[in-house]
A = this chain, B = another copy of it.
């Protein structure tokens, strides 16, 4: 409606608009407020248009979550090869994008149902893995979760635990950040 003044053929790029609208509502009003119809309304289309791009509400949410993992990955990558910095970045993401973080790691979406989501998640964690298992140095018996090393697992659990506690409001970012730094992601 801004780039073109002629109301393009159909819409131009719904799907993108839907993802953006959903993301906006998610951050503004929480996951409970993200209904297919509300999203459609926000995108200016009829209540059934989303079904041409997403087979279900959960599929839309999975799309939003997958993009969230993309942003998380970017943040982790920006932290370079410093494990501690990555932990900070993880935490910062959980705070800055709390609703999305909760969506990404919440139970509402079964990752098995959405391969794209699962791979986006794995992709994000791989950054963490690269650094953490490089740091491990010692032996390398691949843990049974074959794509992620044991050192990563430990680092991930700590950071993820703090992130959840912060996201749940049970802990302040400062306290978590301090505890994280003191803990020894760098033992």
* Interface, chain A (partner B; CB < 8 A): 30-32, 99, 102, 105-108, 111-112, 121, 143-145, 150, 153-154, 156-162, 164-165, 167-172, 174-176, 179-180, 182-183
Contacts of A179 in B (CB 8 A): 143, 150, 153-154, 157
15 interchain pairs (CB within 8 A)? A32-B108, A107-B168, A112-B169, A121-B170, A143-B175, A144-B172, A144-B175, A145-B171, A157-B165, A157-B180, A160-B161, A160-B164, A161-B162, A161-B164, A164-B164
In the bound complex, how far is the Cα of B150 from the Cα of A174, in angstroms?
12
Quick one: which of B144, B156, B159, B161 contacts A156, CB cutoff 8 A? Answer: B161
Copies in the complex: 2
Identity of the chain B residue whose Cβ is nearest the Cβ of A167 in the assembled complex:
B107
Contacts of A161 in B (CB 8 A): 156-162, 164
Taking A99-B107, A154-B179, A160-B164 as known contacts, 4 extra A-B pairs with beta carbons closer than 8 A to each other, sorted by chain A number, are: A111-B170, A153-B165, A161-B162, A164-B164
